[in-house]
Amino acid sequence: MDDLYRENLMDHYQHPRHHGPMAECDAEAEGQNPLCGDQVIVQVKLTDGTIEEMRFTGHGCAISQAATSMLTELVQGLTVDEAAALPSQAILDELAIPLSAMRVKCAVLGLGTLKLALHRSAGTPLPAEWGDTDEMVWS
């Protein structure tokens, strides 16, 4: 099982990066997967259209929380357009572990919530590919 719960993933789960609320932010959204009770709240600080910092809070399984922690490092310094265009595969590559279809939803919860925050902040609609994740609850 160590191929699944490998060291890097567990390190992010137990020591999440950029974790905890941000006093002032430019974009914010909450994502929940009611099937497993996973929840993340994403906050983003922007400078000139670039992600200065993404922070998150929440709770859930190791996959959802570690993937969101990895995401905070992945998107730092990206432009809003670059981050909003990140494919799910980017976070799956980051996790670098085999995931069943059910656990993929856990893995992309943070990314979907970040995209919602960025699109909401820019006043643009969430892309269609996030519209079919109907198990998720976005707010």
Partner 1 sequence: MTVSPLTPTDLARIRADFPILARELHGQPLAYLDSASTSQKPQQMLDAMTSFYSTSNANVHRGVYTLGVESTDAFEAARDAVAALLNAPSRREVIFTRNTTEALNLVAKTYGVQNCGPGDVIVSTVLEHHANLVPWQVLAEQTGATLRFLDIDDEGNLQLDALDAIAREGNVKLVAVTHQSNTLGVRPPVAEIVAWAHAQGAVVVLDAAQTVPNRPVDVQALDVDFLAFSGHKTLGPTGIGALWGRESLLADLQPFLTGGEMIRSVKLERTSWNALPWKFEAGTPAYAEAVGLHAAIDYLQAVGLEAIDAHEHAITDYALGRLAEVPGLRIIGPQTAAARGGVVSFVLDDVHPHDIAEILDRHAVCVRAGHHCTQPLIERLGLAATVRASFYLTTTEAEIDRLVAGLLDVRRVMGV
Task: Specify the residue, 35 or 85, whose C-beta has the smaller distance to partner 1.
Answer: 35
Task: Specify the residue, 47 or 100, whose C-beta has the smaller distance to partner 1.
Answer: 100
User: Of these, 8, 21, 34, 49, which contacts partner 1 (CB under 8 A)?
Assistant: 34
CA angle 138, 135, 44 (to 5 degrees): 30
- Report whether 61 contacts 36 (CB < 8 A): yes
- Report whether 67 contacts 107 (CB < 8 A): yes
Q: Shortest gap between Cβ of 21 and partner 1 (angstroms)?
A: 20
Please tell me the distance from the alpha carbon of residue 93 to that of residue 117, in angstroms, as a whole number.
22
- Report whether 116 contacts 16 (CB < 8 A): no
Q: Counting contacts by CB under 8 A, is residue 62 touching partner 1? A: yes
Please tell me the distance from the alpha carbon of residue 69 to that of residue 56, in angstroms, as a whole number.
8
User: Of these, 18, 22, 30, 36, which contacts partner 1 (CB under 8 A)?
Assistant: 36
- Report whether 53 contacts 45 (CB < 8 A): yes
User: Of these, 8, 21, 52, 59, which contacts partner 1 (CB under 8 A)?
Assistant: 59
User: Of these, 60, 69, 72, 116, which contacts partner 1 (CB under 8 A)?
Assistant: 60
User: Of these, 40, 46, 54, 63, which contacts partner 1 (CB under 8 A)?
Assistant: 63
Residues near partner 1, by CB under 8 A: 1-2, 4-5, 10, 14, 34-38, 59-63, 103, 106
